[in-house]
């Protein structure tokens, strides 16, 4: 799928499921943005010696929190409620793959975390594109189009830093392995009213 290189596209009929429970998709989306901000801060905390990475991920974290606020504002405007944080089985499967994949070195740990992050951003970007092109709600169609472009930028940021700091690691080979793994699990998703569900 173009620049994202995802191996399996989301079935557009997933949007039909989403439209039956807008409150649920918005709640799930809000928490996805919060977790994305937290993830960026975690990378900064563990790799503070890389000044350029810190600078760019601080900006990214701020943007993710801004997205959280935007989603929350839509929830309030529509008279809906932000529900409790949701478990994200898709992200958890990627997380376990990341934990098993490193060789124990700091460089490997950083590369795996960056590729994990890039993978989530790539799939989120693709899901936002599917939403923007298929949802009947005009306000949300425009909103998800704007966020799709932002997520694409985040994906590029993570991939770029994996390549920059992955000294001694064949980052391209690892990314192909990540893409293959993601393809093996994504067919289990796209059946629920959540961003990755």
The sign of the torsion formed by the CA atoms of 14, 87, 57, 184 equals negative
Place of tokens 């990627």: 94
Confidence of residue 2 (pLDDT cuts 50, 70, 90): low
Q: How far apart are CA 182 and CA 117, in angstroms?
A: 12
> pTM of the prediction?
0.96
Residue 137: CB atoms within 10 Å: 15
- pLDDT tens digits along 81-119: 999 998 999 999 999 999 998 888 999 999 999 999 999
Note the pLDDT tens digit of each residue in 27-77.
Answer: 999 999 999 999 999 999 999 999 999 999 999 999 999 999 999 999 999
DSSP state of 85: P
pLDDT in tens, 129-159: 999 999 999 999 999 999 999 999 999 999 9
pLDDT of residue 140: 98
At the top level of CATH, the class of 14-188 is mainly alpha
| Model confidence at 1: pLDDT above 60 | no
Confidence of residue 4 (pLDDT cuts 50, 70, 90): confident
CA angle in degrees (0–180, nearest 5) for 117-120-121: 85
102 and 164 in contact (C-beta within 8 Å)? no
Nearest-angstrom CA–CA distance, 167 and 88: 31
In three-state secondary structure terms, 102 is coil
């Amino acid at each position: 799928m173009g620049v994202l290189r995802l191996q399996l596209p989301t079935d557009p009929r997933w949007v039909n499921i989403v439209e039956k429970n807008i409150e649920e998709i918005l709640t799930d989306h809000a928490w996805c943005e919060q977790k994305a901000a937290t993830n960026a801060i975690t990378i900064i905390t563990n790799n503070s010696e890389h000044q350029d990475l810190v600078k760019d991920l601080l900006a990214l974290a701020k943007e993710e929190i801004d997205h959280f606020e935007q989603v929350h504002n839509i929830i309030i405007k529509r008279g809906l409620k932000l529900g409790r944080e949701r478990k994200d089985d898709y992200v958890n499967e990627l997380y376990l793959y990341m934990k098993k994949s490193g060789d124990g070195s700091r460089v490997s740990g950083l590369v795996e975390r960056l590729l994990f992050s890039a993978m989530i951003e790539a799939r989120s970007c693709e899901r936002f594109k599917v939403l923007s092109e298929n949802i009947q709600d005009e306000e949300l169609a425009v909103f998800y189009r704007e966020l799709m472009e932002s997520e694409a930028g985040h994906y590029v940021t993570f991939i770029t830093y994996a390549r920059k700091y992955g000294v001694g690691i064949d980052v391209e080979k690892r990314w192909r392995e990540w893409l293959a793994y993601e393809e093996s699990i994504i067919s289990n998703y796209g059946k629920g009213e959540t961003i990755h569900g």
